[in-house]
Amino acid sequence: MSNFGIRWPGDSFINRGLAASVLALLVAAGLFGIVGCGSSGNSSSSGNGGDEIVIAMLPKLVNIDYFDACQRGAERAAEDLGIRLIYDGPSEPSGSEQNKFIETWTRQGVDAICIAPNQPKTIKRFVEKAKERGIKVLTWDSDAADSGRDLMVNQVDDKLLGETLIDDIARQMNEEGEWAIAIASLEATNLNTWRRYAEERALSHYPKMKLVETVVTKEDESVAREQIELLLNKEPNLKGIIAFDSNSVPGAAEALKRTGRAGEVALTGNSTPGRMRPYIKEGVLESFYLWDPRALGNLTIRLAVKIVNGEEIAPAMPIEGHRDLVFSENDSTMVILSDPVRFTKENIDEYDFGI
């Protein structure tokens, strides 16, 4: 008899092992029995059998302030409407982890799933599976247009935001000189749509401005700071930076501050007031933009409930606590939350977005 390893198949241990396995099965069967009885006795708070509407919401990742604010808005809406909200997601911005959540919720038979996809291409099969089981699928924050989702809730008109950002930076640069882009990834649909509109407008409206570099910052403030510092050293003639996500803007602001080029290089973008307040007050940058993320979460849940109830989502539809519904010009399944708010030294204290 060998003394190594676990003695599964094929040694004298097998009889005792077999007996033990049978015992294990019996124990488990007993446990299942208890669980089964306990559950069927208490069917009031049922996930898939009861009348209560259950909506699952999947952010790109959990535990970052932007999505935490979205969660608070969603919870408020769920409370108002008397539905049950499941808000959960991966701890890293990973597409495959998100897919597993979609599979779990599909099996549990929730009524609607609202996804902010990290990798828009990878959710396709999982959206199909959910829809096969009669689950409504919405995307929010970032789109997966080819996935077959029912509705996209967009925080902002992509074209409007992209053009607003480039107009702002152009004004600060007197419409001439070198500028650069900082962006979390070249894959996320929302960020790159804004980037595309900004680039297009720069080409058509501001011929004297030259895009010299696009820096990828991986949703990470410290990566953004390092990358922008490198960029600033490399490009002594740089006059402006547009940063397209909530981590790149503070990262870029910190880089400007540390290299002493604040004021010389203009910066704008979209980020959260909580993090930008010190930089705005110090005058590192003049302005940045954002929508209310709580309103985004709130509107997403309200629309999901309407879809689950079989209501038609139509333009100019009144929604409690929001403006009448506005659709995107290019996509009839995309709803626009609001116009972006411009934050400056003067108005930054007037807003409380919870982040």
Give the residues lining the site for another protein (CB under 8 A).
2-10, 13, 16-17, 20-21, 23-25, 27-28, 31-32, 35-36, 38-40, 42-43, 46-49, 54, 62, 84, 86-89, 91-96, 99-101, 103-104, 107-109, 119-122, 124-125, 185-187, 216
Nearer to another protein, 39 or 347 (CB): 39
Smallest distance from the beta carbon of 8 to another protein, in angstroms? 5
Nearer to another protein, 110 or 256 (CB): 110
Strands 209-216 and 84-87: unpaired
Smallest distance from the beta carbon of 275 to another protein, in angstroms? 23
CA 258 to chain centre: 30
Positive/negative CA dihedral, 73, 79, 85, 89: positive
For 276, counting Cβ atoms within 10 Å of its Cβ (0-12 exposed, 13-18 middle, 19+ buried), the class is buried
Smallest distance from the beta carbon of 301 to another protein, in angstroms? 15
Nearer to another protein, 103 or 150 (CB): 103
Q: Indicate the DSSP class of residue 219.
A: T
CA distances from 327 to 292, 317, 321 (A): 18, 10, 17
Nearer to another protein, 45 or 237 (CB): 45
The Cα–Cα gap between 223 and 190 comes to 20
Smallest distance from the beta carbon of 82 to another protein, in angstroms? 15
Nearer to another protein, 74 or 337 (CB): 74
Residue with tokens 């597993």: 100
Residue 87, C-beta contacts closer than 8 angstroms, at least 6 positions apart: 56, 57, 59, 71, 74, 75
Smallest distance from the beta carbon of 183 to another protein, in angstroms? 9
Nearer to another protein, 147 or 287 (CB): 147
Nearer to another protein, 35 or 203 (CB): 35
Nearer to another protein, 146 or 311 (CB): 146
Smallest distance from the beta carbon of 34 to another protein, in angstroms? 8
Smallest distance from the beta carbon of 224 to another protein, in angstroms? 15
Query: DSSP H helical segments within the chain, as ranges?
Result: 14-41, 65-81, 95-108, 124-132, 158-172, 189-205, 221-234, 248-259, 273-282, 293-308
Smallest distance from the beta carbon of 149 to another protein, in angstroms? 16
Smallest distance from the beta carbon of 83 to another protein, in angstroms? 12
Per-residue DSSP letters for 67-125?
HHHHHHHHHHHHHHHT-EEEE---SS--HHHHHHHHHHHHHHT-SEEEE--SSTTTTHH
Strands 238-243 and 266-269: parallel
The letter for the amino acid at 353 is F
Nearer to another protein, 6 or 314 (CB): 6
The Cα–Cα gap between 133 and 56 comes to 15
